[in-house]
Amino acid sequence: MTLDAWIDERADEMAEMLCELVAVPSENPPGREREHCATVVFDALDRLGFGPEWLEGPCVRGTVGDGPEVIYFHGHFDVVPAQSAEQFKPRRTGGRIVGRGTADMKGGLVSMAYGAAAAAALGLLDGRRIVFHAVCDEETGSTDGSGRLQAAGEIDPAALAMLTAEPTGGVVWHAARGAITLRVTIAGREAHVGHVELGENAFEHMLAIAAPLAELSRELLARDSMLVVGGHTGAGANFNVVPGSAWFSLDRRFNPDEDLETEVERLKNTVQAAADARGASVDIEVLQAQPAGFSDPDSAAARTLREAIGQPADFELCPGVLDTRWYAQLGIPAFAYGGGRLDVSHGPSEFIEEAAMRECAAVYARFAGAIRSAAASI
């Protein structure tokens, strides 16, 4: 049986698995129904012969093949909050499945599961095994999922490659920005509105401290690097009280040619200098500090992926942050390629084409069947 025929015979199974996943409102934040969604993934992998295991998070790992060389398939089952509860009622219509998470990236989970199962069933692995990781918190930084896998030594640095099925819309993401998130808290002194002169307005301090950061944001954008100032803010106890405290967030997405520690210090120093100029007291909390990720688009693994796709595919920098970084940090060639579309992901009418799910499953199977170690590629 051909690979395409094997996958096409299971088109309805794939659609049913995706609909079952979409029906679980695994919104993150706040991290709803993680265990429920992980159970759906676990049961599906069990049916497909992966011998799944529970990992902390909760996350799920499954394996097909029994060779010494490892290929990682990796995905997440959390989704961004929905615009409507109706998005958790999946609809199969006109060759599409519509619902929250279909594109980002429950549809990708289905494609990877069936791609791996096909590679095993058709004898394509030849001394290799696919390890499938499904994690619970990619939408909020992956510290409970991918970060814990890496810290616990659950990712083999000698792996041949890693693929994740993010909604790339036909391109390959071989690089991703790093992420820095800070919370800046400014102290003031409360006073009744009738005695404003006794207070110290933390909100006014915050405006002055944020101003040079807004200027920095514009400077960074001019070279395609990003900073959002005040994506989340808060201040004061009541409308008739001088604010005794105020806080705001900073979210920095930096490119692979920029250094993590340099960028953290730049933000902290800018905040502190502005606070000192005001005579204000600030506390700077680092909530997230993750380096960028990069995999060589001319490597043997990248060439194998191009061949598996079977048509020209551009290799690009992801507009956001990817779980590929946890693998690339260990020297593993790591790429994102998926059947969903970024322009509909996170939106009210999110969908994935069923044909794209099946095509990607075949790409993943061909890639796993063709990838070789660097030594064997020479």
* Whether the bond into 30 is cis, omega within 30 of 0: yes
What mean pLDDT do residues 289-318 have? 94
**C-alpha radius of gyration, the chain, whole number:** 23
- Look at residue 376 in the predicted model and tell me its pLDDT: 55
Angstrom distance (rounded) from CA 276 to CA 208: 11
- Who wins on pLDDT, 1 or 186? 186
CB atoms within 10 A of CB 103: 30
Domain ranges of the chain: 3-176+292-377, 178-290
pTM over 0.75: yes
pLDDT digits (tens, 9 = 90+) for 104-157: 999 999 999 999 999 999 999 998 999 999 999 999 888 889 999 999 999 999
pLDDT higher than threshold 80 for residue 378 = no
Residue 118, CB-side half-sphere exposure with 13 Å CA sphere: 30
SS3 category, 288: strand
Handedness of CA 29, 35, 36, 40 (dihedral sign): positive
What is the maximum alpha-carbon separation in the chain? 83
How do strand 161-164 and strand 53-55 relate by DSSP bridges? unpaired
Angstrom distance (rounded) from CA 95 to CA 113: 20
SS3 category, 158: coil
> Would you say 213 and 271 are in contact if contact means Cβ atoms under 8 Å apart?
yes
What mean pLDDT do residues 21-47 have? 97
pLDDT digits (tens, 9 = 90+) for 202-250: 999 999 999 999 999 999 999 999 999 999 999 999 999 999 999 999 9
Residue 60 φ/ψ, nearest 5 degrees: -130, 135
CATH 2.60.120.260 matches 178-290: no
pLDDT higher than threshold 80 for residue 99 = yes
Angstrom distance (rounded) from CA 365 to CA 357: 12
Fold entry, domain 3-176+292-377: Aminopeptidase (3.40.630)
**Average pLDDT taken over every residue of the chain:** 95
Q: Which helix (H) or strand (E) holds 100?
A: none
Residue 12 token pair: 């309805």
pLDDT higher than threshold 90 for residue 67 = no
Q: Which helix (H) or strand (E) holds 136?
A: none
pLDDT digits (tens, 9 = 90+) for 319-344: 888 999 999 999 999 999 999 999 99
The candidate with the shortest Cα–Cα distance to 90, out of 19, 161, 12, is 19
